[in-house]
Amino acid sequence: MKKNVYFLLALLLIGLSACDNEPKFKVQGEINGAEDKMLYLEASGLDGIVALDSTKLGSSGSFSFAQKRPESPEFYRLRLDNKVINFAVDSTETVSVKAEINDFATAYRIEGSENNLKIKELVLLQADLQKNMDKLGQNRNIPAGIAQDSLLAMVNNYKNKVKREYIFAAPNMPYAYFALFQSLNGYMIFDPLTNKEDVKCFAAVATSLNNAYPHADRSRNLYNMVIKGMKNTRTPRQQTMEIPEDKIKEASIIDIQLKDLKGNTRSLTDLKGKVVLIDFTVYNNAMSAAHNLALRELYNKYASQGFEIYQISLDGDEHFWKTSADNLPWVCVRDANGVYSSYISLYNVTNLPSIFLVNRNNELSARGENIKDLDEAIKKLL
């Protein structure tokens, strides 16, 4: 009997020894000024954040975590309260981090790989963009239209820099993947589904990642995103479109009939007698919040004078649209066909958001690209 017990113990010890010998990566360092605070090591997975380990910091602030090495590059983060330090791991490397509690998420020092230095650069660039965006949004002396144009310019400049210096410069590196998924006010800066130029960025990284790690979950997920984006943004074959007579009412308006948040069909022509701004848009875009803020200022200013907004969402996710549009005061409808909507062709929409003005007689008055001052154009029609 004793021999059997010893034999089982020996097997257990061998098993534990084998587990200890698994290749691991280490994260170690010091966090100053954080005595008695909890520091968490978390994985940033495809399905969300997963807690891996934690430790209570002592007076020295030193910490050390060890985890099984991932089979392909993966992303992790150190979290202190609601502040995080993002980093990547693609080997049995040791990542060393030193930080202060007050500027934990931005002024940290990290050693271990080029990837993590680049990820820090991207974090700082995004933080600077967010700060400038917040500053612009708080300046009430700037007209909404000018503020939106300035924001668009800031985002485009940011995207061009990141494309040039991080994504296309080294699409095979984990930091290029990290750059694709940065966000602004909860919205992805790079749009993988409806922006043709952004889809090219995702495709470059997906190709490199798939060549190096064809069986990795991230490779398959990114590849699927690119396929969807390419389908959504492909140039449709040019063909003569017959506009059904029931779509044309009055002088020059093409009627739109779509369901609102409550499932009721709303017709554009039912708004005859009002000045209407037609807005083709997507809510799941970094620019959406600023765009709707500009529209709300116009709506608050002119709604009592007979102004209305007929906003058409082309979002693929119905739940996301309903959640985002729930508190908007104007007419919100959605076309489930997304970028394949027949109304896009009928109105010759070439980019999003895209706006049109309709006068009180249901006549199309102007397209967005031809309107220099939207506020003034609405005022004249009223």
Q: pLDDT per residue over 52-110, tens digit each?
A: 999 999 999 999 999 999 989 999 999 999 999 999 998 778 999 999 999 999 999 99
Q: For residue 319, what pLDDT is reported?
A: 82
1 pLDDT higher than 60: no
Span 332-356, mean pLDDT? 84
Please list the residues that pair with 111 across neighbouring strands: 96
Report the C-alpha gap between 352 and 194 in whole angstroms.
Answer: 9
Q: For residue 6, what pLDDT is reported?
A: 52
At 356, the amino acid letter reads: F
Please list the residues that pair with 184 across neighbouring strands: 187
How far is Cα of residue 331 from the mean position of the Cα atoms in its chain? Answer: 25
Rounded to two decimals, the pTM is 0.63
Span 323-336, mean pLDDT? 91
317 pLDDT higher than 90: no
Q: For residue 207, what pLDDT is reported?
A: 87
240 pLDDT higher than 80: no
Q: For residue 232, what pLDDT is reported?
A: 77
Q: Which domains does the chain have, with CATH numbers?
A: 24-111 (2.60.40.180), 125-137+144-233 (no CATH), 251-380 (3.40.30.10)
Report the C-alpha gap between 182 and 202 in whole angstroms.
Answer: 13
20 pLDDT higher than 50: yes
145 pLDDT higher than 80: no
151 pLDDT higher than 60: yes
Q: Which residues contact 318 (CB under 8 A, 6 or more apart)?
A: 334, 336
- Reported as a pLDDT band with limits 50, 70 and 90, residue 237 is very low
C-alpha count within 13 angstroms, C-beta hemisphere, residue 321: 20
Question: Which value, to the nearest 10 degrees, does the dihedral of the CA atoms of residues 41, 44, 47, 53 take?
Answer: -10
Q: For residue 279, what pLDDT is reported?
A: 95
